[in-house]
Amino acid sequence: MRKMPDELQKEIADASSVEGSLAALEHLLSGGYNVLPNGDLYFIKELVGRVNGLSIYIYPKDHPPPHFHIRGGGIDASFSIQDCDLLKGTINPRHHGLIRWWHREAQAKLQETWAKLA
């Protein structure tokens, strides 16, 4: 679950050691955050999951149609949430078949996440 910037600041401030604040850094580095030129922290993407070196993202307020991105393991592609059609990028047929299979089970969660970030 994504933590808000104030939660992360509190986690770092409440840590009794540098090691104690590393969980917040891990969350920042893997959680889709970026920093504006004025120093403010902002959220740029929702990590839906990771599997076997692949990261699955949905970006807030992204362009239609509803879609998700998969990156890693030589894959950099986006897929329709509705039918898992390849929208952009390249992927070998075996991997696309596996992603389609996963999509059938995860489609409701992907739709929920898209709606939350719209």
Q: Specify whether 55 is located in the same domain as 85.
A: yes
Q: What residues make up the domain containing 35? A: 5-43
Enumerate residues 6+ apart whose C-beta is below 8 A from 87.
65, 67, 77, 78, 79, 80
Q: State the pLDDT at residue 42.
A: 72
Q: Specify whether 58 is located in the same domain as 93.
A: yes
For the record, the structure tokens of 74 come out as 């030589």
Q: Specify whether 52 is located in the same domain as 32.
A: no
Sign of CA dihedral 80, 86, 91, 95: positive
Report the chain's C-alpha Rg in angstroms. Answer: 16
Per-residue pLDDT band at 80 (split at 50, 70, 90) = very high
Q: Strand, coil or helix: what is 9?
A: helix
Sign of CA dihedral 57, 60, 65, 66: positive
Give the separation between CA 9 and CA 39, rounded to whole angstroms. Answer: 13
What's the rounded mean pLDDT across residues 27-48? 76
> Is the pLDDT at 1 greater than 60, yes or no?
no
Find the range with the poorest average confidence among 13-22, 37-46, 53-62: 37-46
Q: Specify whether 53 is located in the same domain as 109.
A: yes
